[in-house]
Amino acid sequence: MRKKLILTILILIALSFVASEAECNIVLKTLVVNPSKDKTQTAKLMAYLPKEATADDIVDVGDLKVDYDIEKGLYYVHQKYDLKPGESIAREIEIRDVWVISRSDIEELTKQAKELAEKLRGTAYFDMANALQKDIERKTSEILDRQEKALNAKPQLHIGVYRSNVHILDLTNNDLAKLEKMVEEVKEQNGPGDKIHVQATWRLIVAMIAALGVLSIIFFIIWNRQAAIEGSKRKAEQNDKDTSF
């Protein structure tokens, strides 16, 4: 009979994860209630921790015990309490805040995207690379903005924003992988030992064309002067002949 009472009380446990943040840690609050109006009963408080939390992230659980559910792949806290009719007990679980994406990691990702896009400048891939780089920049900026706004929010919102940002970060890493693939493809097209210097090559070609143009002008001027000199000589010789007659 006592076991049945325990099972009944488990179903009626109320868990409230309306918690607060304390010094870069998150505090989750749980509550267990004895719904009986006339019986003292043994209630089991049991609460699963968010999936990102590990045993190393737990800071303080008070008198609660920590275990791991292999089937669900989640850590949970639990404890049994003898509660008088209508009595309730609240407990707090303090966890290190692991629901933050490092700003330095975001900035490094953005930097890599810019460097890769720049390597593709002057190639057939550049327009696509530039669009991907701008999209990465937009997404990373969005991640940092959303994260900043959720820092002082309730844990549910804070954790929810983190999970949403992780999804966006995955998409961003996919875009970065596309840029890396483009760079590799261009390197393969140019040869294993060549670097991507398409723009420099075009500049050299333009410079050579310009130099040829200058040489052509110089040759034209020289030819024109020589033609003028020859014309003057012929005219002088013709004048000498006319004078002799």
pLDDT digits (tens, 9 = 90+) for 94-106: 999 999 999 999 9
The residue ranges of every structural domain in the chain are 2-96, 103-190
Where is pLDDT greater, at 180 or 153?
180
* Pairing state between β 88-96 and 58-60: antiparallel
pLDDT at 241 over 60: no
Report the C-alpha gap between 91 and 47 in whole angstroms.
10
**Confidence at residue 203, expressed as pLDDT on a 0 to 100 scale:** 63
Place 155 in a pLDDT band, splitting at 50, 70 and 90.
Answer: confident
pTM: 0.66
Report the candidate in 138, 214, 200 with the shortest Cα–Cα distance to residue 169. Answer: 138
| pLDDT tens digits along 4-59 | 444 334 434 334 444 444 447 889 888 888 888 889 999 889 999 999 999 999 99
The 10s digit of each residue's pLDDT in 51-91 is 999 999 999 999 999 999 999 999 999 999 999 998 999 99
Q: Which CATH architecture has domain 2-96?
A: Sandwich (2.60)
Whether the Cβ atoms of residue 76 and residue 120 lie closer than 8 Å to each other: no
Angstrom distance (rounded) from CA 141 to CA 135: 10
Terminal CA-to-CA distance of the chain, rounded, Å?
153
